[in-house]
Amino acid sequence: MEKNAKIYVAGHRGMVGSALVRRLKLEGYHNLVVRTSQELDLRKQVDVAAFFETEKPEYVLLAAAKVGGIQANNTYPADFLLDNLQLQTNVIEQSHQHSVRKLLFLGSSCVYPKMCPQPIREEYLLTSPLEPTNEAYAIAKIAGIKLCEYFRKQHGCDYISAMPTNLYGPGDNYDLANSHVLPAMLRKFHEAKMNGQPEVVIWGSGTPRREFLHVDDLAIACLHLLDNYSAPAPINVGTGEDLTILELAELVRNVTGYTGNIQLDATKPDGTPRKLLDVSRLRALGWEHHIDLREGIARVYQESFGTVSSVA
């Protein structure tokens, strides 16, 4: 992309969108277009059309989404499906109507089947049933992937889709009811340390394996893909490394300096047994992650809770 290209970052106040804005500015892109959800409700087709008619962006980074953890997805499945379908469809359609040069759609690793082989290759999409606890969100994201693919097929649009693994970093959601596992753990262990609690309860059996990528690494990967990737298939973005939930809890305990016990609540859902992405296609394009998980968690802990980590 040219440094003066007009770039619309949808969802710029979210964790992913804000990381994209930071990275774009750092690399010298200065003609960025952003709108808050109060200024532009992406679920409203007429408003999105008016925005594109006025701004006419050359590039679109579609990071806007309604997101949440297992409990939120279980509680509000209709909202997760409808809101995400509406907002992504409106942005993708108007990108075509106004001749956007390139669009990057951000999906999620949860689009892949619950029990597919590991590590997860891009071609495993739609080969078997989804994980029920986040099925609504996954279906919406799959629709976005396919819409980009079909606009490319029917109209020749240069639309690409990236599937990030589990993300963490600045701007994460630390609400215990609606957050993802890593930020929820950070808050739990921090509050347990501050309050002198003897134990921290972790959902599930502790055996599921998860992969985590710092959102600043994702932002770098997205810009790399915009310059180096153009194909109908989605492409995975991750580290190629994973660990168990219990191992993650022990790592967070160490980072926060908590000295109490970890208690597993096996009555709570585990979710997918394992989600490790095969990132060989991305590595073949010349990109790998740089931020180690331990280093990244320590950095996020200091940034979010104003506490110096016990981990260098």
Write down the residue that tokens 């008619």 correspond to: 53
Q: 38, 12 in Cβ contact below 8 A?
A: no
Q: How far is CA 107 from CA 19, 56, 62, 145, in A?
A: 16, 24, 9, 7
Structure letter (DSSP) for residue 274: E
Give the ranges where the chain is alpha helix by DSSP (H). 15-26, 45-55, 70-75, 77-97, 135-155, 181-195, 215-228, 245-256, 280-284, 293-305
Which residues fall in the annotated binding site for substrate? Answer: 188, 203, 210, 270
Nearest CA-CA partner of 109 in 17, 205, 209, 176 = 209
Instruction: Pick the catalytic residue from 8, 137, 159, 168.
Output: 137
- State the first-to-last Cα distance of the chain, in angstroms, to the nearest integer: 37
Secondary structure of residue 105 in the 3-state scheme: strand
Considering only CA atoms, which of 248, 272, 275, 270 is closest in space to residue 203? 270
Q: Within 13 Å and on the Cβ side, how many CA atoms surround 232?
A: 12
Query: Is 174 tagged catalytic?
Result: no
Residue 142 CB-half CA count within 13 A? 19
Closest CA to 6 of 106, 84, 95: 95
The three-class DSSP label of residue 198 is: coil
Q: Which two tokens stand for residue 120?
A: 């997860």
Which residue positions form the known binding site? 11-17, 106-109, 141, 164-167, 180, 188, 203, 210, 270
Residue stretches of the annotated binding site for NADP(+)? 11-17, 106-109, 141, 164-167, 180
Q: What is the DSSP letter of 151?
A: H
Active site residues: 137
